[in-house]
């Protein structure tokens, strides 16, 4: 892993995602200045760092990593002063981000990338009114950012190629796996894949094919285990045997295309929403959201360690 030349990062918006980003940046030896309008944000950041730090050390925090190397600002413009990279994680609303981004871009040097954690908004709209708009782009992580390697770097109309390259290099240097999305679309890439799968999962519940718990198990106890190592294209390449993807296309594509034709498009009525809520409630069997998140994070940590060894 190449060390990043960036030593100071501004985290603008320090809710769950921004606080997790803060812990991740600190674990790579960086100084972080955080901003959020919520008076509870500093406490949230402290709790996130405290809970994440043992895991980050297990996963390879740098020798110069310091969990205390951060401070909080109540003014976003002051927070970005002197920053070499900005990770914006404000609420997922155009009006909020379109007010915030021009204000911080006005005081930053041209080479400083401003990456938005937005999970689905269009970067071409976020950079409107910004100084040096080409350096404003999407750097979308997956929750929790201090654990999940994937970061979607979205280029599109008006994005500078140098900014995209700088963002890709930055995320790679801190141990992430950035991918470049070459054409902006709502939801970017991974969330669209998730949405497509969940649409069919909802349809199967609505159509009475299986329970919520069994639909979930169909993924977590089956293809989800393979997807932790390789994606759908590579998985089907193996499904083709020694002939690989070409063999898969020849023998299995007729069946797959017939399934495509039968996929559902459910209408999310109040009754269906209630059925999904009830199904998940039964599935989790009294476990709280914090308990489930802790279990998820422990599993992710073990899985990441396994991937690193293999």
Question: CA torsion sign, 222 to 226 to 227 to 228?
Answer: positive
Question: CA torsion sign, 201 to 204 to 206 to 211?
Answer: negative
Q: Does the pLDDT of residue 18 top 90, yes or no?
A: yes
Q: 23 pairs with which residues across the strands?
A: none
The 10s digit of each residue's pLDDT in 67-103 is 999 999 999 999 999 999 999 999 999 999 999 999 9
d(CA 255, CA 251): 8
pLDDT of residue 310: 79
Q: Does the pLDDT of residue 149 top 90, yes or no?
A: yes
Residue of 66, 30, 69, 67 whose CA lies nearest to 49:
67
What is the set of domains in the chain, with CATH numbers? 8-181 (3.40.50.720), 190-309 (1.10.1040.10)
CA 206 to chain centre: 29
Mean pLDDT to the nearest integer, 171-182: 96
pLDDT of residue 3: 67
Q: 179 pairs with which residues across the strands?
A: 152
């Amino acid at each position: 892993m190449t060390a990043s030349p960036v030593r100071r990062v501004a985290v603008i918006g320090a809710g769950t995602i921004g606080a997790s980003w803060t812990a991740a940046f600190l674990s790579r030896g960086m100084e972080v200045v955080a901003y959020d309008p919520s008076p509870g944000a500093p406490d949230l950041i402290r709790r996130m760092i405290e809970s994440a730090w043992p895991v980050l050390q297990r996963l390879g925090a740098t020798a110069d990593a310091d969990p205390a190397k951060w401070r909080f600002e109540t003014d976003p413009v002051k927070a970005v002063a002197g920053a070499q990279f900005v990770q914006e994680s404000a609420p997922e609303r155009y009006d909020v981000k379109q007010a915030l981004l021009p204000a911080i871009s006005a005081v930053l040097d041209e080479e400083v990338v401003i990456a938005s954690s937005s999970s689905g908004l269009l970067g071409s709209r976020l950079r409107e009114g910004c100084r040096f708009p080409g350096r404003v782009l999407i750097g979308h992580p997956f929750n929790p950012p201090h654990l999940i390697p994937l970061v979607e770097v979205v280029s599109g109309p008006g994005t500078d190629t140098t900014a995209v390259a700088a963002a890709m290099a930055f995320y790679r240097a801190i141990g992430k796996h950035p991918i470049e999305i070459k054409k902006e679309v709502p939801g970017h890439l991974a969330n669209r894949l998730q949405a497509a799968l969940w649409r069919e999962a909802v349809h199967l519940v609505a159509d009475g094919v299986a329970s919520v718990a069994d639909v979930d198990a169909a993924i977590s106890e089956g293809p989800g285990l393979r997807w932790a190592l390789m994606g759908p294209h590579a998985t089907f390449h193996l499904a083709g045997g020694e002939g690989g993807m070409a063999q898969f296309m020849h023998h299995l594509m007729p069946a797959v295309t017939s399934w495509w034709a039968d996929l559902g498009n459910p209408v999310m009525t109040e009754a269906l929403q209630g059925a999904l809520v009830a199904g998940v409630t039964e599935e989790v069997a009294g476990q709280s959201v914090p308990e489930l998140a802790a279990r998820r994070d422990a599993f992710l940590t073990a899985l990441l360690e396994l991937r690193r060894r293999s």
